[in-house]
Structure 1
Amino acid sequence: MTSSDWANPYGVRKPYGANGADHGDHGGKARASLSADHPLVPWKQPDHLHQWVDVDHSREELDRFGTSWPPLGELLDGSSGHGRVVIVSGPPGMGKTSLIHRCIHEVRQRVAAAAAWAGDPLPVCVPTAGLANDGRRISVDPDGAFAPTSLINARIRREIAKSLRLHDFPESRVQSIVAEEDPFQAYSDMSELLVQHNALLLAVIPHIRWNDAALRARFLSTCLSNAHTRIVLFVEVSHGAAETAREVAATLSDSAAVTHLALRELNSEDIWRFSHSARASDDGPNGLVKPDRSSLMAAHSEWRPSDVRELRTVFHSAADALRSAPYPWPIDADALRPHWERRRAGRDALLRAPIPPRSGG
Structure 2
Amino acid sequence: MSVNPFALRGRDHPAGHLSPFPGKGSEESGLYVDVGGASARFARFTEEFTPPDAAAGRGRLVVVTGDSGSGKTSLVDRCVDWLGRAAAERGWQAPAVDLREAEAVALGTADRVRLVFRRLVASLAEEGAVPRRWVEELRVHEDDPPSGYRALGRVVLEQRRFAVVLLPSCELPMELREYARLATPGVVLFLESSYPEVEREAESPPSEGRVLHLRMGRLGADDVRRFVEQRLRGRPPGTVPEISDEAMEAVVRTAPHLATVRQVQMLLHEMFDRAIAESRTTVTYRDFLEYWNAKDLTR
- TM exceeds 0.5? yes
What is the aligned counterpart of 2:123 among 163, 182, 191? 163
Query: Does the 8 Å CA contact 2:64/2:72 hold for their aligned counterparts?
Result: yes
The total of aligned residue pairs comes to: 293
- Structure 1 equivalent of residue 251 of structure 2: 299
- Structure 2 equivalent of residue 245 of structure 1: 202
Instruction: Please provide the CA RMSD for this pair.
Output: 3.1
Query: Residues 225, 54 of structure 1: CA spacing in aligned structure 2 closer, same or farther, 3 A cutoff?
Result: same
- Structure 1 equivalent of residue 95 of structure 2: 124
Instruction: Output aligned runs, 1:259-338, within 5 Å.
Output: 259-278=212-231, 286-289=239-242, 292=245, 295-301=247-253, 304-330=257-283, 333-338=285-290
Structure 2 gaps, min length 5: none
Q: Name the CA distance, whole Å, in 1 between partners of 2:25 and 2:234.
A: 15
Give the drift of 1:299: 3.4
The answer to whether structure 1 residue 182 and structure 2 residue 139 are counterparts is no
Query: Does the 8 Å CA contact 1:203/1:234 hold for their aligned counterparts?
Result: yes
Give the drift of 1:100: 0.9
Q: Name the CA distance, whole Å, in 2 between partners of 1:76 and 1:246.
A: 21
- Structure 2 equivalent of residue 207 of structure 1: 169
One-letter identity of the residue aligned with 1:220: L
Instruction: Output aligned runs, 1:1-361, within 5 Å.
Output: 7-13=3-9, 32-33=10-11, 35-41=13-19, 42=21, 43-75=23-55, 77=57, 82-112=58-88, 114=89, 117-118=90-91, 121-130=92-101, 137-140=102-105, 146-165=106-125, 166-180=127-141, 181-209=143-171, 216-241=172-197, 242-248=199-205, 251-252=206-207, 254-255=208-209, 257-278=210-231, 286-289=239-242, 292=245, 295-301=247-253, 304-330=257-283, 333-344=285-296
One-letter identity of the residue aligned with 1:110: A
Cα deviation, 1:311-354, whole Å, max 9, x if unaligned, reads 11222222233233333114x54433323444446x99xxxxxx
Give the drift of 1:281: 9.9
What is the DSSP-based 3-state SS (H/G/I as helix, E as strand, rest coil) of the residue aligned with 2:87?
helix
One-letter identity of the residue aligned with 1:267: G
Give the drift of 1:169: 2.3
Give the drift of 1:218: 2.9
Cα deviation, 1:289-329, whole Å, max 9, x if unaligned, reads 2663x643443445721422111122222223323333311
- Structure 2 equivalent of residue 358 of structure 1: none
Q: TM-score, normalised by structure 2?
A: 0.83
Q: TM-score, normalised by structure 1?
A: 0.70
Query: Residues 343, 93 of structure 1: CA spacing in aligned structure 2 closer, same or farther, 3 A cutoff?
Result: farther
Query: Does the 8 Å CA contact 2:35/2:219 hold for their aligned counterparts?
Result: yes
Give the drift of 1:246: 0.9
Cα deviation, 1:22-56, whole Å, max 9, x if unaligned, reads xxxxxxxxxx4464122111242444332222331
What is the percent sequence identity of the aligned residues?
20
